[in-house]
A and B are shown apart, each in its own frame.
Chain A
Amino acid sequence: MNNISGAALRYRIMAYVTGVVLATAFTWMVVLIVAWMADGHAFADFFSANEQKPGLYGALWIIHGWAYFLYLVVGVDLAFRLRYSIGRTVLILLAGTIPFMSFVAERYVHKDLAKRAQPTSIS
């Protein structure tokens, strides 16, 4: 189980891709909901009125779905290599579904890696 830096890079890329797509889609959703409710519609109806949303908006969520799948694959791979516990692994994986959290998770993993690297860099 070596080559952690490769796995960390793959994870980092997917954390950013997933995070950017999710943040964009989420921000856009908030904007659309505000406009929707300003028009006097009910909040709950927003999620069933698909035909009134831009095509790119729906596509972003689909892209996020597939990006998140890749995020899971590289995230699990990295967690295995770093011998993370189940709880920590699950938290890192869930971060890909919560807006802006994948950046936080990526920072956390990055710091953890830096901490682990210190003893070996001294020797």
Chain B
Amino acid sequence: MRAGLGVLLILGFIFLGQWQWERTQDVLAAERAGLAQQVAVDGLNPLGQPIASETVGRAVSAHGTYVANQQRFVIHRSLNGQSGVWVVTPLRLSDGSLIAVMRGWLPSDQSPGVNAPSGEVDITGVLQADESFYRGSPPDGSNVAAISQQSLQLGKLARDGYIRLSTQTPIDSPAPTAVPIVAQQGSAPFPFQNFFYAIQWWIFSFFVIGVYLRWLWLDANESSESSPRDEVG
């Protein structure tokens, strides 16, 4: 009967551990799916706040108008071995705030495709944090060394970070070449609680074996001795 109860407990604990392990996977998958979902940049990246690390790499959408006279060129950026520039144009959102949009690569700041469309556009892209290198290097006219709030100088209405453009409606023709960037990806919080519960259930099943063995050992000792009374204190 004791052995049966032990086996039952062990099987139950293994099953419960399995359940928590699957929950760990499910929670992680749900969180990752949530992160993959496209969201409006307004809600994700509030004005006047530094970009939150878990939002970096998120797919974002935005609606607004490009501000052509605040366009910047990030110099010394090569693509496929060819030197050129990145075109960064701020997009004015409906609330008047700005978000920098890295529209792509061009061989020079005179190349066709440099001018952004003048009307309202809908864009999608990937939210990126400021490039932290070359921080503080003085901008030279519209030429900058890196995409950062210090070098872009877009003013107080600029949101932190920038969008790496993926799609745009209406499209530019010709358009800057999309730049493949190794995106930083904010990671989903790991569900430690379920993970540890899974491990604990499995440890409990070993614990049952330990308790059962101890029981047998005590029984064997007790039957050989004449069952001494417990002392208290």
Contact = CB atoms under 8 A, between A and B. Distances in A.
Closest 10 CB pairs of A and B: A117-B232, A2-B231, A65-B200, A62-B196, A61-B193, A116-B232, A58-B193, A65-B196, A76-B211, A51-B189
Q: Report, as a range, how many residues of chain A touch the other chain.
A: 20 to 34
Query: Main SS of chain A's interface residues?
Result: helix
Interface of A: 1-2, 4-5, 48, 50-51, 58, 61-62, 65-66, 68-69, 72-73, 76, 80-83, 86, 113, 116-117, 120-121
B214 A80 contact: yes
A75 B215 CA distance: 14
A116 B230 contact: yes
Interface residues of B, number: 25
Nearest to A114: B232
A94 to B, nearest CB: 12
Contact of B189 (A50, A113, A116): A50
Contacts of A80: 214-215, 218
A41 B131 CA distance: 38
Nearest to A79: B211
Contacts, number: 61
Given A72-B204, A116-B232, A117-B233, A62 B218 contact: no
Contacts of B192: 58, 62
Query: Main SS of chain B's interface residues?
Result: helix
Contacts of B188: 51
B27 A69 contact: no
Given A51-B189, A61-B193, A73 B232 contact: no
Nearest to B26: A48
Interface of B: 2, 5, 27, 30-31, 188-189, 191-193, 196-197, 200, 203-204, 207, 211, 214-215, 218, 228, 230-233
Contacts of B189: 50-51
B5 A86 contact: yes
A90 to B, nearest CB: 9
B207 to A, nearest CB: 6
Given A50-B193, A73-B207, 6 more contacts: A4-B233, A5-B233, A51-B189, A69-B203, A76-B211, A117-B233
25 contacts: A1-B218, A1-B228, A2-B230, A2-B231, A4-B231, A4-B233, A5-B232, A48-B27, A50-B193, A51-B31, A58-B193, A65-B193, A65-B197, A69-B204, A72-B204, A72-B207, A73-B207, A76-B207, A80-B214, A80-B218, A82-B230, A86-B2, A113-B232, A117-B232, A117-B233
